[in-house]
Homo-oligomer: A and B are copies of this chain.
C-alpha cells in the first residue's frame, strides 16, 4: 500500500468515526429516551477523543509529506490533490490545540449548556454568568493557540468559515447594516393574518414530505423526522436526515423543512468519490447555509414555486381557499422586526446577526463587561431593530450558541444569505427557464445544476475558491442580496 492509499484508509476511518458520532447525535435529538443522556455524552466524548487522537498522530504528517510530491502534478481540484491539501490544513489546525484545552472546552461547553437551559427557562442571566465567563476565558486560550493579524476573533471565525478574516466580514456588514435598516424602515404593512390558523401537523407533514420528494433526493436516501430544534445531518451522501417541527397554528414547518432540505441536498450531492474522506461536506458553514437559504427563500418564497404548490396547499388547508396566491406570496415575503432571531424574516434576520457579530468581538476583547451584557443587548436591539426586549429569555439568553462558547458561528448565517444571492445570479443565467420549471413543479434542473457545479465539490476548494469558481470572484459581495431584498420590498408595496 502506497502512502496515498495509507492516507485514504486513515481518513476513511476518521470519516467513519465522525459519521458514527453523527448517528449518535441524530438519535439523541430525534429518538433517544431522555434518561439516555448521560451515557450518550460519554459515548460521544469517546468517539470524538479517539477520532482526534488518531488524526493528530505524527504518522498523518509523515504520510502527508510522502503524498505531497505524488499529487503536485495532478489538477488542483482532483480528488487526490485536494485530499492532501485539505487534510494538511485540517491536520495542522487540529494539532495546534492541546488535548487538555480541547477536553476542558468540551466539558465546560456541556456545563454551560445545562446552565443556559435553566437560565433561559427562568430568564435568569445572573445564574448563567459564571458559565459564560468560564467559556469565554477558554475561548481566549483557544485563540492564543493560533496566529492572527487583524483580530483575535479571526481564529474563531476560521473554525466555521475557513480562511475568512474578521475585517472582511466587517466590510460586508458595514454595507449591509444601513441598507437593511433602510429596507426595513420602508417595508410596507402586509396582511398575514391567514398564516395563523388551524393547520393540523399530520397534514403539514404529508404535504411537506410531498414537496421534499420533488427536490432531487434519490429514493431511499433520506428521511424527515420531528424534533424540537430542526437540523440536518448525514452519514453518507446516501443517508441524509432532515428534521423539522410542526406548530398546529402556523405553516413555518414548510420553510423550516425546505431550509434543512437545502443542507440535505448539499450532502446528497457530494460526489461519490468523496465518500469516507475528509472532503465530504461543504467548504464552510456560510457556503452550506447559502444553499439552505436558497431552497427556503429563493425557491420556497418565490411566486413560481407557489404557482405549482399553492393549489395543493389550499386543498390541504381549506381556510386558505379565500386567499389569493398573490396575497399569500406577499405575506410569506413580508419584513417585520421582532425579538427572536430564529423567527426573523429574510430581511431583518441579518440585523440580528450583525448585532451578535459586533457583541462577540467586544466580549472577546473585553470591551463589554459580562455583567452589563443584558443591558447592552437590550439597547442594541432597540437601536438595530426598534424593539423593546421584555426579558432576558427573549433577549440575550435566546440563543444556545454562547452557552457552549461557540463564538464566530453567527456571522455564517448572514454570509449564507449574501452568498446565496451571489450564486443565484449565476444560476438564473445558466437556467433561463427556471421560473417556468418551478411553476411546473419541477425543481430538478435547479438541483441538478447546483449538484454538478457546487454540491459535488464537497470540501475540495476553500470557501473563497468555491465562491470564485461559481461567481467569478472570491469576494463576498452584498449587492445581489440587497438588490433582491429591495426588489422584493418594492413588489410588496404594489
Footprint of B on A, CB under 8 Å?
A: 12-13, 16-17, 19-21, 23-24, 26-27, 31-36, 38-40, 42-43, 45-47, 50, 218-223, 225, 235-236, 238-240, 275-276
6 contacts between A and B (CB under 8 A): A16-B45, A16-B46, A20-B24, A23-B27, A40-B236, A40-B239
Q: Which residue of the partner chain B has the closest CB to A239?
A: B36
Residues A39 and B238 in contact in the complex (CB < 8 Å), given A17-B46, A31-B31: yes
Residues on the B chain within 8 Å of A220, using CB = 33-35
Q: Which residues of B contact A236 (CB under 8 A)?
A: 36, 38-40
Q: Which residues of B sit under 8 angstroms from A40, Cβ to Cβ?
A: 235-236, 239
Nearest residue (CB) in B for A33 is B220
Q: How many copies does the complex hold?
A: 2
Give the complex CA separation of A42 and B277 in angstroms: 12
Given contacts A23-B43, A38-B236, 10 further A-B contacts (CB under 8 A): A13-B46, A13-B50, A31-B223, A31-B225, A33-B238, A34-B220, A36-B236, A38-B238, A39-B235, A39-B275
Inside 8 A of A19's CB, which chain B residues have their CB? 39, 43
Of A34, A42, A43, A276, the most chain B CB neighbours within 10 A belong to: A43
Instruction: Assess A33 versus B239: contact at CB under 8 Å? Given A23-B24, A43-B16.
Output: yes
In the complex, the answer to whether A239 meets B39 with C-beta atoms within 8 Å is yes
How near does chain B come to A403, taking the closest CB pair, in angstroms? 23
The answer on a CB contact under 8 Å between B276 and A33 is: no
* CB–CB B221/A33 < 8 A: yes
Residue among A12, A33, A225 having the largest count of chain B Cβ atoms under 10 Å = A33
Q: A23-B23, A33-B222 in contact; A12/B42 too (CB < 8 A)? A: yes
In the complex, what distance in Å separates the CA atom of A46 from the CA atom of B31?
A: 24
B239 engages A47 (CB within 8 Å): no
- The docked-state distance in angstroms from the alpha carbon of A31 to that of B227 is 15
Known: A40-B239, A236-B39, A238-B39. A47 touches B20 (CB 8 A): yes
Which residue of chain B has the shortest Cβ distance to A28 in the bound complex? B23
